[in-house]
A and B are shown apart, each in its own frame.
Chain A
């Protein structure tokens, strides 16, 4: 039998009680993240893109819509760094303006996916039962269809245009976000702290948003970042076939479509939008991968 020591002196002294700030798990991961050169370059590129998107009207060398039919397909030159297109418009200016769409479009799509997928997934993971069964089967059904084809069908209902097409893409993406978040929520909701949250009288809503969400944020963030890249590709694809951005606006996808139309007269046309697209998607993927790595490292530590 154990014997009780007469004086209850706490022997569990603090391990490291120096002046170190209290570190949340999130902050530890963030620190590791900023030590990765690849992630930093990706972040820098996206920051540049964000700057161009915001400042485009001020910094573009030419009006992106100004036509000059006397100077079509000029090719790169000192005046037009990336040349001109079939209407003599400055490609660099158009690229910079399109950067707005390159950032806004994935945000709309992933935002839609998150609004549909995340609350459902959290509730399904926490309570299981009927909501889990219904939402899970629905997600399976949606995932069995090719995402782009599904998005096209939804656009057929909503009508073409940037916002509609991105909402459609978001609906098509919702199941993949749902699955990731639900899996994490399911694992987290089996932890004792969820039980103790309930045992101090938390409502379901409070359990979901205050206790569950921060604990599934890591895998969710990874999935969101990677979906951003995929959404950008989807936007480009839909704009390429004319279902996304409508003229006179242009996105990198619709610029690729224009370049494709004129590929024999101006083979250089596809390089700029193609490279921008590839680089941006690569950046999102690098960010996602790094996030996953630092989070996994945090788990091991």
Chain B
């Protein structure tokens, strides 16, 4: 396939007037194999990632964020399958692509960073080799050239004394440095897109800020489109241009970050925002959302947030279609119809 060659042109597409999304997910539905009666784990999820922009995929644990991101890489666990929809990554239909094509995409067109930097690195391999591996695999570089490039990349992600560090093993580095190594490895082949699955969750707050600054820096320089899977609203507000809010496998709201924080259009988002402490508003009561995300077998019909929603009425049990106000999509029919305006403080 010629797809692997086009990745380097991402920066060029970013400045072009008609910006083509690097990743386009449409009506993605994922369920368990052989259990047709169970509600889908992920249903009708749609979003785009544009070059040079960050999209946050946000939600509580068990909302299908990680599964969605794994599906983008074509790495769904064997017991799950894509039941419908499409994923187009840099012009390639991921769901129809052969294993070979997918391998060419992974690491070349899309780099991935995961939550636990310590366990994301092979403990028996020097970090320099792990960074060079992708270049060696995809660009046919010699091991030596790849190793030299790895030193350059380590330097780029802000690791001091890079030449020495390249020979270090993961356990000899701190968590923040390990995550920098992961980032270096993810951008080794200058991918068009980065998939970051909770990249800062396991890190200290100060290190978090450094890593985010590094990612923003790289995004600007390389024109990376970033899909940022997280549950940290603070990170979203700082880092992402667009937000996709997921709840129990549904996209409940999708909007620009500013619009979403200013005026959430789904009760779930409003409740989430209400649970975040605000600077400058001392002694306010933080709201909590009662209950928890139901397990995948027990999703209710209609709006899946219904049992926990303060505004639920009988019609909420029917399938929701929602509607968009400009770019601001909500799944909640009542909000879309103007019956309800969820406020940040409930």
Segment at the B interface, from A14-22, A40-48, A76-84, A232-240 = A14-22
Segment at the B interface, from A5-13, A117-125, A257-265 = A5-13
Asked whether any CB of chain B lies closer than 8 Å to the CB of A247, the reply is no
Are A23 and B169 touching (Cβ within 8 A)? yes
- Near B by CB (< 8 A), chain A positions 106-165 give 128-129
What 1/0 mask marks residues of chain A from 22 to 44 whose CB sits below 8 Å from any chain B CB?
11111000000000000000000
Asked whether any CB of chain B lies closer than 8 Å to the CB of A211, the reply is yes
Are B122 and A215 touching (Cβ within 8 A)? yes
Bound Cα distance A282, B160 (Å) = 50
Asked whether any CB of chain B lies closer than 8 Å to the CB of A267, the reply is no
CB closest chain-B residue, reference A199: B112
Asked whether any CB of chain B lies closer than 8 Å to the CB of A202, the reply is yes
Bound Cα distance A198, B133 (Å) = 11
Bound Cα distance A145, B312 (Å) = 64
The 5 closest A-B pairs by CB, nearest first: A12-B176, A200-B107, A8-B213, A214-B124, A201-B107
- Near A by CB (< 8 A), chain B positions 305-323 give none
Bound Cα distance A197, B182 (Å) = 11
Given A128-B78, A196-B185, A197-B133, 8 additional A-B pairs, CB 8 A: A1-B279, A2-B232, A3-B209, A8-B158, A14-B174, A23-B172, A25-B124, A202-B103
Bound Cα distance A1, B234 (Å) = 5
Bound Cα distance A4, B195 (Å) = 21
Asked whether any CB of chain A lies closer than 8 Å to the CB of B60, the reply is no
From residue A203, how far is it (CB to closest CB) to chain B in Å? 7
Ordered by A's residue number, 19 sampled pairs between the chains whose C-beta atoms are within 8 Å are A1-B233, A2-B209, A2-B235, A4-B213, A8-B210, A10-B158, A13-B174, A14-B173, A22-B169, A24-B124, A25-B124, A26-B124, A196-B121, A197-B133, A199-B107, A200-B111, A201-B103, A201-B137, A206-B137
Asked whether any CB of chain B lies closer than 8 Å to the CB of A87, the reply is no
- Near B by CB (< 8 A), chain A positions 273-290 give none
Query: On chain A, which size bracket covers the interface?
Result: 35 or more
Asked whether any CB of chain B lies closer than 8 Å to the CB of A63, the reply is no
Are A193 and B122 touching (Cβ within 8 A)? yes
Q: How many A-B pairs with Cβ below 8 Å?
A: 143
Are A14 and B160 touching (Cβ within 8 A)? yes
Residues of A within 8 A of B173 (CB): 14
Residues of B within 8 A of A193 (CB): 119-123
Residues of A within 8 A of B105 (CB): 201
- Of A8, A198, A214, A217, the residue contacting B75 (CB under 8 A) is A198
Query: On chain B, which size bracket covers the interface?
Result: 35 or more
Asked whether any CB of chain A lies closer than 8 Å to the CB of B82, the reply is no
From residue A21, how far is it (CB to closest CB) to chain B in Å? 9
From residue A69, how far is it (CB to closest CB) to chain B in Å? 60
Residues of A within 8 A of B238 (CB): 1-4
Are A22 and B121 touching (Cβ within 8 A)? no
- Near A by CB (< 8 A), chain B positions 88-128 give 103-108, 111-112, 114-116, 119-126
Bound Cα distance A43, B232 (Å) = 55
From residue A217, how far is it (CB to closest CB) to chain B in Å? 8
Are A8 and B214 touching (Cβ within 8 A)? yes
Asked whether any CB of chain A lies closer than 8 Å to the CB of B2, the reply is no
Asked whether any CB of chain A lies closer than 8 Å to the CB of B168, the reply is yes
Are B133 and A200 touching (Cβ within 8 A)? yes
Are B75 and A195 touching (Cβ within 8 A)? yes
Bound Cα distance A5, B214 (Å) = 12
Asked whether any CB of chain A lies closer than 8 Å to the CB of B284, the reply is no
Chain B interface residues toward A at CB < 8 A: 73, 75, 78, 103-108, 111-112, 114-116, 119-126, 133-134, 137-138, 158-161, 164-165, 167-169, 171-177, 180, 182, 185-186, 188, 195, 205-210, 212-214, 217, 232-235, 237-238, 276-279
Are B119 and A191 touching (Cβ within 8 A)? yes
From residue A12, how far is it (CB to closest CB) to chain B in Å? 3
Are A196 and B120 touching (Cβ within 8 A)? yes
Given A192-B115, A197-B122, A198-B75, are A1 and B237 neighbors across the interface (CB < 8 Å)? yes
Residues of A within 8 A of B104 (CB): 201
Are A12 and B175 touching (Cβ within 8 A)? yes
Residues of B within 8 A of A214 (CB): 122, 124-125
Residues of B within 8 A of A11 (CB): 176, 206-207, 210
Residues of B within 8 A of A16 (CB): 172
Q: Of residues A2, A3, A9, A211, which shows the largest number of chain B Cβ atoms within 10 Å of its Cβ?
A: A2
Bound Cα distance A210, B136 (Å) = 13
Q: Of residues B107, B126, B176, B180, which shows the largest number of chain A Cβ atoms within 10 Å of its Cβ?
A: B107
Bound Cα distance A10, B164 (Å) = 17
Are B123 and A25 touching (Cβ within 8 A)? yes
Bound Cα distance A203, B107 (Å) = 12
CB closest chain-A residue, reference B213: A8
Residues of B within 8 A of A24 (CB): 124, 126, 169
From residue B113, how far is it (CB to closest CB) to chain A in Å? 8
Are B209 and A15 touching (Cβ within 8 A)? no
Bound Cα distance A6, B12 (Å) = 29
Are A22 and B167 touching (Cβ within 8 A)? yes
Bound Cα distance A26, B126 (Å) = 12
Are A215 and B124 touching (Cβ within 8 A)? yes
Bound Cα distance A206, B104 (Å) = 14
Given A2-B209, A192-B120, A211-B122, are A199 and B161 neighbors across the interface (CB < 8 Å)? no
Given A14-B174, A15-B174, A215-B124, are A198 and B206 neighbors across the interface (CB < 8 Å)? no
